[in-house]
Amino acid sequence: MISAGEESRKYEIKLLVLAGLYLAAGAYAGYLWRDGDARSVLVGASVPALGFLLVAVVWQALKFRADPFLLPVVAMLSYTGLVFLYRLNPFYALRQFFWMIIGLFFLFLTTRLFTNYRRLSEYKYIYALMGALALITPIFLGVEQGGAKSWLDFGYFHIQPSEFVKILVVLFLASFMSENKMVLTQDTEFFRGFYFPGPRAWGPLLGMWGISLLLLVFQRDLGAALIYFGTFLAMVYVATARMLYISIGVGLFMTGGALSYLLFDHVRIRVNIWLLNPYGFFELGDEAYNQAYQVIQSLFAIGAGGITGTGLGGGFPMFIPAVHTDFIFSAITEEMGLLGGIAIVLLYILFIFRGLKAAMESRDDFSKLLAAGLTALMGLQAFTIIAGVTKLLPLTGVTLPFISYGGSSLVANFIILGMLMNISHEARIHE
């Protein structure tokens, strides 16, 4: 087993070189298929590959001891995204290229500035305030994209605050829970023989539920609501191991879901689409078909992939609206097949494994909660969107971490990676 120490960075660099070869192969295939400009493809592929390597080399020089597998996994995911974006539309690949560089810079910055991340636990009410502000702003000033009103327009680019707020939410919860762990695990007798948590525990529970509903109602952002609340429950479980909280939480979420099904057309439509039988698509009338168009196109793409896929450039993923953001997984499965799709899922599993390992290795509650929360966030997001585009669950629009096109999402995810690395470093430095 790779233990803490400088050895680990050598593994990381080796794995990054392999990931670089993967990117090179993908870039070459994309270049051949698109008959693209050789120089821009060369630059587009080598700069990110060298960027990742540079980060690892500098870390080595700084004797950074964090987990050596997280960065290569993220590199594989990011490279896949870059190659597929180039294949779908070079314009998106170009923008993603810049965002990836910015993301790497933020990753490095996070690992330098927040090495002493425990200090972060002191400012939890500031996070709550910032988070609330960032969420509320788009309701009044935001622009709508893909049915969700959760974007701020900055001229050249849009920022989606909810992507960053998710980090603040996890930070807040980790601080709050590590501080109030005793309260959370103690019962107040409520009614003869039945123990219920006291109001100090109920507070944040209801608060989170409120935030999720707020997202749902005002921003129509089903995906974010689901992920926030799921992450919250995961962290509550890690902190208390009490199924009572989880049951109440799931109950609240179900109630919210059922209410929004009854109240909101867009939720009802999503659920009805989810209930369609794929064997019966051919019988659908025009209206039903047009309503379910995106999901049906996604399933057509996935079905076209078979086991081996059509090969890069061989399929027709462009038939799916918004294929470059939420539906990029369908494009990958169409052209890389079931095997490619499973490989992506395995990469996320690996990410979760390493993230939770960092949580288990660290020694204080705040670090454990923070690492577990950030990992759960990432895992839930990947699961939600993959399950959505494959119609295992109703579709909720969120990005596929590190792969989907989108600057806010990419940068936020690199910051999360940086924080996980810090926690892992902190845990290993004392070994």
Contact residues for another protein, defined by CB under 8 A? 32, 234, 237-239, 241, 278-279, 281-282, 284, 289, 296, 299-300, 302-311, 313-316, 319, 333, 337-338, 341-342, 345, 348-349, 352-353, 356, 359-360, 365, 368, 372, 376, 379, 383, 386-387, 390-392
Q: Is the CB of 274 or the CB of 316 nearer to another protein?
A: 316
Task: Estimate the crossing angle of helix 38-61 against helix 70-88, to 10 degrees.
Answer: 170
Q: Which is nearer to another protein, 219 or 367 (CB)?
A: 367
Chain center to CA of 53: 23
Query: Which single residue is written with the structure tokens 């989810």?
Result: 274
Query: Any idea what the Cα angle at residue 329 is, between residues 161 and 66, rounded to 5°?
Result: 65
Residues ≥6 apart with Cβ < 8 Å to 78: 48, 100, 103, 402, 403, 410
Backbone angles phi, psi at 327, to 5 degrees: -100, 20
User: Long-range CB contacts (< 8 A, 24+ apart) of 322-325?
Assistant: 322/146, 322/294, 322/397, 323/88, 324/85, 324/88, 324/89, 324/92, 324/404, 324/405, 325/146, 325/397, 325/399, 325/404, 325/405, 325/406
In angstroms, what is the minimal distance from the CB of 235 to another protein? 9
What lies within 8 Å, CB to CB, of 90 at 6+ separation is: 34, 36, 40
Residue 427: CB minimum distance to another protein, A:
12
Q: Which amino acid is at 181?
A: K
Pick the closer one to another protein by CB: 101 or 349.
349
CB of 165 to another protein, least distance (A): 22
Please say which residue, 160 or 333, places its beta carbon nearer to another protein.
333
Q: How far is the CB of 108 from another protein (least distance, A)?
A: 27
Residue 403: half-sphere exposure toward Cβ, Cα within 13 Å? 28
Q: 182 or 307: whose CB is closer to another protein?
A: 307
Which residue number, 265 or 431, has a Cβ lying nearer to another protein?
431
CB of 369 to another protein, least distance (A): 8
Q: Which is nearer to another protein, 56 or 299 (CB)?
A: 299
Q: Which residues pair with 188 in a beta bridge?
A: 196
What is the closest distance, in whole angstroms, from the C-beta atom of residue 170 to another protein in the complex?
A: 14
Nearest distance, CB of residue 109 and another protein, angstroms: 27
What six digits make up the tokens of 201?
């525990």
